[in-house]
Structure 1
Amino acid sequence: MTTNHTTTYTVTTTVNPVGTMRVLSNREVKKLQDTSKRGLHRLFRQCALAVLNGEHEGDSAEELMTLYQDFDIRIIQEQRGLKLKLYNAPADAFVAGKLIRGVRENLFSVLRDILYVSAHITEDPRFDQHSSQDTTHMVFEILRNADAFITKQLPNTVVCWGGHSISRDEYEYTKIVGYQLGLRYMNICTGCGPGAMKGPMKGAYIGHAKQRLNRGRFIGLTEPGIIAAESPNPIVNELIILPDIEKRLEAFVRLGHGIIVFPGGPGTCEEILYIIGILLNPANREIPFPLVFTGPASAKPYFEQIDRFIGKTLGPEAQSLYQIIIDDPVEVSRTLRAGLEQVTRFRRKQGDAYYFNWLLTIDEPFQKTFEPNHANMAALELSLSLPTHELAANLRKAMSGVVAGNIKEEGVAAIRQHGPFQLSGDTELMKEMDTLLQSFVDQYRMKLPGSHYEPCYEIVQ
Structure 2
Amino acid sequence: MRVLLNPLDGMNLLSQTEVSKLQKSSNSPLYALFKSCALAVLNVGNESDELYNEYSDFEINLLSRERGIKIELINPPQAAFVDGEIITGIQEHLQSVIRDILFNSSKYETTDFNDSVEVTNAIFDILRHANVILPTDLPNLVVCWGGHSIKEKEYRYTKEIGYQLGLRGLNICTGCGPGAMKGPMKGAALGHAKQRIKNGRYLGLTEPSIIAAEAPNPIVNELVILPDIEKRLEAFVRVAHAIIIFPGGAGTAEELLYLLGIMLNPKNKLQVLPIVLTGPAESIAYFEEIAEFVEATLGKEARDLLNIMPDKPAAVAQFIKDQMVNVRDFRKSVGDAYQYNWTLNIEPDFQHSFDPNHENMSQLNLNLDQPKTRLAANLRKAFSGIVAGNIKEQGVLAVKEKGPFILQGDETLMHRMDKLLMAFVEQGRMKLPGSKYEPCYKINIL
TM-score range normalised by the length of the shorter chain = over 0.9
Shift of 1:358: 0.3
Q: Give the aligned residue type for 2:93.
A: N
Aligned equivalent of 2:96: 109
The secondary structure found in structure 1 opposite 2:76 is strand
Task: Give 1:141's match in structure 2, choosing from 122, 125, 134.
Answer: 125
Structure 2 match to 1:224? 208
1:74 corresponds in structure 2 to 61
Q: How big is the shift at 1:384?
A: 0.9
2:17 paired with 1:27: no
Superposed, 1:246-265 pairs within 5 Å as 246-265=230-249
CA contact (8 A) 1:162 1:263 kept: yes
Residue 368 of structure 2 is aligned with which of 378, 384, 403? 384
1:191 correspondence with 2:175: yes
CA deviations on 1:387-419 (whole Å, 9 max, x unpaired) are 111100000000000000011111011101110
Alignment match, 1:6: none
Task: Tell me the amino acid that sits aligned with residue 255 of structure 2.
Answer: E
Q: Show structure 2 runs of 5+ residues with no match.
A: none
Which of 219, 236, 249 matches 2:220?
236
Q: Deviations over 1:257-305 (max 9, x none)?
A: 1100000000000000010110000000001100000000110111000
Pairwise CA distance, 1:30: 2.9
Q: Which segment is superposed worse, 245-254 or 331-340?
A: 331-340
**Rounded Cα–Cα distance in structure 1 between residues aligned with 2:136 and 2:314:** 27
**Contact 1:158–1:256 (8 Å) recurs in 2:** yes
Q: Distance in 1 between matches of 2:432 and 2:302?
A: 30
Out of 130, 135, 154, which is 2:114 matched to?
130
C-alpha contact (below 8 Å) 2:25/2:106 kept by paired residues: no
Q: Which residue does the alignment assign to 2:279?
A: 295
For 1:96, the aligned partner's letter is D
Give the 5 Å matches for 1:249-398: 249-398=233-382
CA contact (8 A) 2:141 2:241 kept: yes
TM-score between both structures, scaled by the size of structure 2: 0.97
CA-atom RMSD, angstroms? 1.2
CA distance in 2, matches of 1:354, 1:385: 38
| Cα distance change of structure 1 residues 77 and 380 upon mapping to structure 2, 3 Å threshold | same
TM-score (norm 1): 0.94
AA paired with 1:46?
S
Match status 1:17 vs 2:7 = yes
Corresponding letter in the other structure for 2:251: G
Give the aligned residue type for 1:71: F
Residue 100 in structure 1 maps to residue 108 in structure 2: no
1:13 and 1:87 in contact (8 A); partners too: yes
Contact 1:32–1:44 (Cα < 8 Å) also in 2: no
Question: What is the aligned-residue identity percentage?
Answer: 56
Counterpart of 1:89 in 2: which secondary structure?
A: coil
- Give SS of 2:223's match: strand
Q: CA deviation at 1:328?
A: 0.6
**Residue 421 of structure 1 pairs with residue 405 of structure 2:** yes
Structure 1 unaligned spans of 5+: 2-11
SS in structure 2 at match of 1:326? coil
Q: Which moved more, 1:366-375 or 1:341-350?
A: 341-350
Residue among 43, 56, 60 paired with 2:46? 56
Please give the per-residue CA displacement for 1:336-378, whole angstroms capped at 9, x wherever unaligned.
Answer: 1122211001111111000000000000110000000000000
The offset of 1:79, in angstroms, is: 2.6
CA offsets 1:213-245 (integer angstroms, 9 cap, x no match)? 000100000000110221100010000000000
In structure 2, distance between residues paired with 1:456 and 1:64? 21
